Structure 1
Amino acid sequence: MSFQKTVLIFEPDASGHHPGYLYHLLKHFLNEKYDFRLAVLVNPDFFEKHPSIIQKTSAENIEWISTSETTFNDWKNSKSDVIKRAKLEWAICAEYAKNLQAVHILMMYFDHLQLACLTEQKPSCPVSGILFRPTLVNYPVNSIKEKISFWRKYLLLKAILHRKSLSTLFCLDPFAVDFIQQNWKSNKVKFLPDPVQVYPNTKSIDSLKEKLGITESKKVFLIFGHLDDRKGISTVMDTFMNLSEDEAKNVCLLIVGPWDEQEKLRFEQKLTLLQQKNSVQVIVHNHFVADEEIQSFFEVSDYILALYQKHIGMSAIMVRAASAQKPLITYHYGLMGKITAEKQLGLLINETIKDDFLRQIKTLLNSSNLQIGNQQNMKEFAELNQAKNYAKVILDSF
Structure 2
Amino acid sequence: MADAPPRHILIFEPDERGHAREWFEHLTRFAAERHPYLKLTLAVPRRLAEAIHVPPSTSIQTLSEKEERRSLAPQLAVSGMGRWNTMQSHLASSGADYGFFLGLDHITLPLALGLRARRPVSGILFRPSAHYDDDHAASRTSLKERIRDLRKQVLYALMLRNPSLDIVFSLDPYFLSTTATSKVRGLVDPAFPLPAPSPEAAGIRPTDGRVLFLLFGEISERKGLLALFDALAHLAPETAARMSVLVAGRIEPPLRELAAERADALRSVLPLRLSFDDRFLPAEELAGLVRRADVILAPYQRFVGSSGVMLWAASAGKPIITQDYGLIGRLTREHRLGLAVDTTDAAALASAISKAVRRGPAALAEEKTVKAFAAHRTPGRFAATILDGVLKREPSQTAAREAGEEIARSRTGHASSLR
Band of TM-score, shorter chain: 0.7 to 0.9
Alpha carbons of structure 1 residues 286 and 249: separation in structure 2 relative to 1, 3 Å: same
Q: Deviation digits for residues 253-272 of structure 1, max 9, x if unmatched?
A: 12111224542221221122
Q: Is the 8 A contact 2:103 2:124 kept in 1?
A: yes
Structure 1 residue 246 and structure 2 residue 238: aligned?
A: yes
Structure 1 residue 190 and structure 2 residue 182: aligned?
A: no
Partner of 1:132: 126
Q: 2:96 aligns with which of 96, 102, 105?
A: 102
Distance 2:167 2:196 in 1: 37
Structure 1 residue 170 and structure 2 residue 162: aligned?
A: no
Partner of 2:301: 309
Alpha carbons of structure 1 residues 32 and 156: separation in structure 2 relative to 1, 3 Å: same
One-letter amino acid of the counterpart of residue 18, structure 1: A
Distance 1:380 1:368 in 2: 22
Q: Is the 8 A contact 1:97 1:123 kept in 2?
A: no
Give 1:324 deviation, angstroms. 1.3
Q: Is the 8 A contact 1:109 1:130 kept in 2?
A: yes
Q: Deviation digits for residues 148-199 of structure 1, max 9, x if unmatched?
A: 222111021022212222110011111112332xxxx211111222134233
Alpha carbons of structure 1 residues 72 and 372: separation in structure 2 relative to 1, 3 Å: closer
Give 1:312 deviation, angstroms. 0.8
Partner of 1:396: 388
Alpha carbons of structure 1 residues 371 and 311: separation in structure 2 relative to 1, 3 Å: same
Distance 2:361 2:76 in 1: 50
Distance 1:202 1:10 in 2: 31
Alignment of 1:133-152 (within 5 A): 133-138=127-132, 139=134, 140=138, 142-152=141-151
Distance 1:91 1:271 in 2: 44
One-letter amino acid of the counterpart of residue 188, structure 2: P
Distance 1:65 1:202 in 2: 32
Percent pairwise identity: 27
Partner of 2:56: 59
Q: Which has the higher contact order (CA 8 A, sep 6+)?
A: 2
Distance 1:388 1:295 in 2: 20
Give 1:200 deviation, angstroms. 4.0
Partner of 1:336: 328
Q: Please give the secondary structure, in 2, of the residue aligned with 1:116.
A: helix
Q: Please give the secondary structure, in 1, of the residue aligned with 2:311.
A: helix
Q: Is the 8 A contact 1:90 1:120 kept in 2?
A: no
Give 1:127 deviation, angstroms. 1.2
Distance 1:293 1:268 in 2: 23
Partner of 1:160: 159
One-letter amino acid of the counterpart of residue 54, structure 2: T
**CA RMSD in angstroms, aligned pairs only:** 2.8
Alpha carbons of structure 1 residues 256 and 96: separation in structure 2 relative to 1, 3 Å: closer
Alpha carbons of structure 1 residues 169 and 243: separation in structure 2 relative to 1, 3 Å: same
Give 1:316 deviation, angstroms. 0.7
One-letter amino acid of the counterpart of residue 99, structure 2: I
Alpha carbons of structure 1 residues 354 and 318: separation in structure 2 relative to 1, 3 Å: closer
Q: 2:377 aligns with which of 337, 361, 385?
A: 385
Q: Is the 8 A contact 1:199 1:293 kept in 2?
A: no
Structure 1 residue 22 and structure 2 residue 24: aligned?
A: yes
One-letter amino acid of the counterpart of residue 6, structure 1: H
One-letter amino acid of the counterpart of residue 127, structure 1: V
Q: Please give the secondary structure, in 2, of the residue aligned with 1:212.
A: coil
Structure 2: which 5+ runs fail to align?
A: 391-419
Normalised by the size of structure 2, how large is the TM-score?
Answer: 0.82
Distance 1:120 1:96 in 2: 20
Normalised by the size of structure 1, how large is the TM-score?
Answer: 0.86
Give 1:208 deviation, angstroms. 6.0
Distance 2:280 2:147 in 1: 39
Alignment of 1:195-274 (within 5 A): 195-201=190-196, 211-212=203-204, 214-274=206-266
Give 1:329 deviation, angstroms. 0.4
Distance 1:5 1:373 in 2: 45
Q: Deviation digits for residues 317-364 of structure 1, max 9, x if unmatched?
A: 111111111111012111100000011100121347662222333333
Structure 1: which 5+ runs fail to align?
A: none
One-letter amino acid of the counterpart of residue 13, structure 1: D
One-letter amino acid of the counterpart of residue 32, structure 1: R
Distance 2:61 2:174 in 1: 36
Alpha carbons of structure 1 residues 281 and 58: separation in structure 2 relative to 1, 3 Å: same
Distance 1:203 1:237 in 2: 29
Partner of 1:6: 8
Bigger radius of gyration among the two: 1
Q: Please give the secondary structure, in 2, of the residue aligned with 1:396.
A: helix
Distance 1:244 1:277 in 2: 10
Distance 1:20 1:160 in 2: 27
One-letter amino acid of the counterpart of residue 113, structure 2: T
Q: Is the 8 A contact 1:198 1:295 kept in 2?
A: no
Q: Is the 8 A contact 2:130 2:150 kept in 1?
A: no
Partner of 2:354: 362
Larger CA deviation: 120-129 vs 362-371: 362-371
Partner of 1:111: 105
Distance 1:118 1:100 in 2: 26
Q: Is the 8 A contact 2:319 2:361 kept in 1?
A: no
Distance 2:345 2:253 in 1: 32
One-letter amino acid of the counterpart of residue 22, structure 2: G
Distance 2:55 2:46 in 1: 12
Larger CA deviation: 340-349 vs 138-147: 138-147
Distance 1:31 1:250 in 2: 49
